[in-house]
Amino acid sequence: GAGNGFQTLVLVKPDAVQRRLVGDVIGRFERRGFKLVAMKLLQADRGLLDQHYQHLQQKPFYPALLAYMTSGPLVAMVWEGYNVVRSTRAMVGDTDSAKAAAGTIRGDLSMHVSRNVVHASDSVETALKEIGFWFQRDELVAWECGDSQYTYGP
Ligand code: IDP
């Protein structure tokens, strides 16, 4: 359907893994209708995070961000679907959990900017780059989701 092929990177961050929120986060993207095309649990290392958070390396909170993101395993996923980058950002909510609207992942599951549960790519170009940082090409699975005539329409 229209919009097929658009993909985004979502990370379920270490705080959410520790707090057993992985299923809650995945369930929200599943129920929205998006298709899971890659997923793995891993311990991120500094090299990977330096790439992923290149735009933040000069920020005063960057050392704390690195410590947080390496404090335990995280879940990396690629989700696909219509308008998935923008819709996923809306589902995630404001970067600062204290400002995130109720109903969003951050607004429902977290209260502070430094432990905000998830990452989602902020543009189509960023998504392409970030998927490349976290996944090998052959880790993405192309498959037909049987309900697409109900989630996309004709
Ligand atoms: P985003 O995750 O909503 O795209 P970015 O500005 O790219 O927001 O920041 C990346 C991550 O860095 C945030 O999700 C959060 O974990 C952390 N972060 C951002 N701003 C702050 C801050 O002021 N204090 C502590 N951590 C922050």
Known binding residues are 13, 61, 89, 95, 106, 116
Among 81, 112, 72, 93, which Cα is nearest to 25's? 93
Q: ipTM of this predicted complex?
A: 0.98
- Ligand 1 centroid to Cα of residue 153, in Å, is 36
pLDDT tens-place string over residues 84-116: 999 999 999 999 999 999 999 999 999 999 999
Ligand 1 pocket check for 57: Cβ under 6 Å: no
- Ligand 1 centroid to Cα of residue 140, in Å, is 27
Kindly list the domain boundaries of the chain, sorted by start residue. 7-140
One-letter identity of residue 41? L
Pairing type for strands 35-42 and 74-80 reads antiparallel
Q: Decide: residue 65, CB within 10 A, 0-12 exposed, 13-18 middle, 19+ buried.
A: middle
Residue bearing tokens 């707090």: 19
Ligand 1 pocket check for 88: Cβ under 6 Å: no
Residue 3 confidence class, pLDDT cut points 50, 70, 90: very low
Residue 152: CA count within 13 A, CB half-sphere: 18
Question: Does 43 score more than 80 pLDDT?
Answer: yes
- Ligand 1 centroid to Cα of residue 122, in Å, is 12
Ligand 1 pocket check for 113: Cβ under 6 Å: yes
Q: What is the pTM of this model?
A: 0.96
For residue 1, what are its two tokens?
């359907």
CA distance 151 to 102: 25
Burial 9-42 (b: 16+ CB within 10 A, else e): bbbbbbbbbeeebbeebbebbeeebbbbbbbeee
CATH class of 7-140: alpha beta
